[in-house]
Structure 1
Amino acid sequence: MPIDITSYLQSITEECNALKNRVRHLIEDRHWATDGAWKESVLRALISRTLPSNYSVASGFVVTDSGPSTQIDVLIYDNTLPVLYKGGDLVFVPPAACVGIIEVKSSLNSTGFRQATVKLADNCGLVRRYETEKRLFSGIFAFEGNGTPGTLLEHIDAAAQGQESRIVNHVSIGPSTFIKYWPTHPESGQAHYRHWHHYEVEQMAPGYFVHNLMSFLAGENLVRGNNIWFPREGKEGRRVHARRFTERPADIAA
């Protein structure tokens, strides 16, 4: 009997919903920073359960000779490389060790999403300034949120400022909204496709986000004929909007 991966992904959403307000129930609205830190720890715990042993997850900073990044809520790094400092859930890493950066939000509206994409894109640009060929998972994870598909994709494209080094490539908002950047077409394999796809994956967005992170860390070679990670029918049938990456004139001319 085949596994029911759809129900499994939906159970991850149920787990997020069960955990997200646990601290708020105790302190109500008296300390939003603590509530936010709890939600970040929830996502780090979800990721750590399936993270390969050569990677670690923490919060922290990417440090360069021109200065540090802003604080990164969820930082995935290659633990086979030296780090500058590690203590508890806080780590300071060089760009070479950084493989994933995630911004976590309790709730996002359109304006909050625009601000989050710019902050994340700035950190992406900093990492890739020193590691120009690095594959980098860059994501936004919001436990709740809203915004029309067209507006969300417009903001994520604007944050890139026409630079591929600033692209935010994965987003999960609430239980069902999932956004992914495709350098190549997901079905035809067309090269230089460079589109974001907005999907409505019923009650599965957090699970899709985490499993896409694992696929990214595996070099997009996670399935290999044994698809136990995603629903067999795929998600392209659930796509509701798409937007092409807006290139800078210099990139187009090249």
Structure 2
Amino acid sequence: MPNNNTRYQQSIAAEFIALKDRVKFFIDDNHWGEDGRYKEIILMNFLRRVLPDNVAVGTGFVKNRASQLTDQIDIIIYKKNEPKLFSEGDFVILMPESVLGIIEVKSKVTPQVLHGRKKYEREVLSTIDKCHLNGEVIGRTDIFNGIFSYEKQMSFRGGIQSNKLIDQLKEKQGYINHICFDDNIFMRYWPEGNPTDMRNENRPSLSFYDLSYEKVFHQPNTTHSGLAFGYFISNLLETVYRLVASNVLNEQYFEFLYPLEHTKEVHRMRDCEIRLN
């Protein structure tokens, strides 16, 4: 049976799904842009509740010392008390040194959204490209750089179906380190190889996890949410605390962040593993 920490992880997904569906009662598909913005706000407001007081959450840009500017970032997590180039409400322009994490929020991911597509006869920058290029401008691989999607329209049965997506993930190694495809499927980048493979394989790798209710608890599911949303946020919290207050990361806190017995590695989708050279 789920323990209390696991129930908390599930409640995160249930809360997000309920809030995003609530908007659909009032906004039809013609206003998908506003619906998308609302989904960013859902995540931003949740992060404000769980992040430490010396950390802020906003949206905007990062400008480095070479005057390179990122694309607009959906969610930026940054040190509250460090200098800002500009700040007005939630909108900020920051220097790389104050950044702790960046997140792109998607209503639904497809292979085309992740690895690029054509729209009205022009190429649209892929979400992976955007996250990678923003990471390059910031110039740091120690921060959290993630994609958070509420839903997915892609299958992981029998491996990743899109070779182009695999090629992009291989090419863009180093900056993008977490992807939540929906409440069930989660990906993490391991720069020194997946810890469970360290004896035989230490190449950097991208590991995928099926954290659906059925897989985690070995029970049929009709209403229960998976744990991918919760694990995405737990990895973000771990990254932030490593950068601002590493003493907090004791055994009790890790049990709260990662409540699955024997860790999530038992739910790793080995046929989706991507090893990097």
What TM-score comes out, normalization by structure 2 length? Answer: 0.79
Counterpart in 2 of 1:181? 189
CA 1:180–1:187 in structure 2 vs 1: closer, same or farther (change >3 Å)? same
1:96-120 Cα deviation digits (max 9, x unpaired) = 1112110000011111122211111
Counterpart in 2 of 1:45? 45
Task: For 2:249 and 2:164, locate their aligned partners in 1 and report how far apart those are by CA, in whole Å.
Answer: 31
1:238 pairs, out of 233, 243, 267, with 267
Deviation at 1:188, TM superposition (A): 6.0
2:229 pairs, out of 198, 206, 220, with 206
Deviation at 1:74, TM superposition (A): 0.6
1:161 pairs, out of 163, 167, 171, with 171
Counterpart in 2 of 1:251? none
Q: Which moved more, 1:148-157 or 1:35-44?
A: 148-157
- For structure 2, the residue ranges without an aligned partner over 5 or more in a row are 116-125, 213-225
Task: For 1:55 and 1:152, locate their aligned partners in 2 and report how far apart those are by CA, in whole Å.
Answer: 37
1:50-98 Cα deviation digits (max 9, x unpaired) = 1112211111111234332111001011122100111111111011111
Q: Are the equivalent residues in 1 in contact too, given 2:68–2:137 (CA < 8 A)?
A: no
Task: For 1:217 and 1:152, locate their aligned partners in 2 and report how far apart those are by CA, in whole Å.
Answer: 32
Aligned runs of 1:126-141 on 2, under 5 Å?
A: 126-128=137-139, 135-141=142-148
Residues 1:4 and 2:4 are matched in the alignment: yes
Residues 1:116 and 2:127 are matched in the alignment: yes
CA 1:182–1:206 in structure 2 vs 1: closer, same or farther (change >3 Å)? same
Deviation at 1:27, TM superposition (A): 2.0
Residues 1:170 and 2:183 are matched in the alignment: no
CA 1:73–1:7 in structure 2 vs 1: closer, same or farther (change >3 Å)? same
Deviation at 1:224, TM superposition (A): 2.4
CA 1:234–1:121 in structure 2 vs 1: closer, same or farther (change >3 Å)? same
2:251 pairs, out of 225, 228, 232, with 225
SS at match of 1:69: coil
- For structure 1, the residue ranges without an aligned partner over 5 or more in a row are 248-254
Counterpart in 2 of 1:250? none
Counterpart in 2 of 1:100? 101
Task: For 1:3 and 1:78, locate their aligned partners in 2 and report how far apart those are by CA, in whole Å.
Answer: 33
User: Which aligned runs of 4 or more in structure 1 are off by greater than 4 angstroms?
Assistant: 151-154, 188-192, 220-223
Task: For 1:153 and 1:81, locate their aligned partners in 2 and report how far apart those are by CA, in whole Å.
Answer: 42
SS at match of 1:52: coil
Q: Are the equivalent residues in 2 in contact too, given 1:153–1:196 (CA < 8 A)?
A: no
Q: Are the equivalent residues in 2 in contact too, given 1:117–1:156 (CA < 8 A)?
A: no
How many residues align? The count is 239
Deviation at 1:232, TM superposition (A): 3.1
CA 1:46–1:151 in structure 2 vs 1: closer, same or farther (change >3 Å)? farther
Deviation at 1:189, TM superposition (A): 5.4
Deviation at 1:31, TM superposition (A): 1.6
Report the residue type matching 2:186 in the other structure. Answer: F
Q: Are the equivalent residues in 2 in contact too, given 1:3–1:228 (CA < 8 A)?
A: no
Q: CA RMSD in A?
A: 2.4
Paired-residue identity, %: 32
Report the residue type matching 1:171 in the other structure. Answer: I
Task: For 1:152 and 1:56, locate their aligned partners in 2 and report how far apart those are by CA, in whole Å.
Answer: 36
SS at match of 2:78: strand
Counterpart in 1 of 2:57? 57
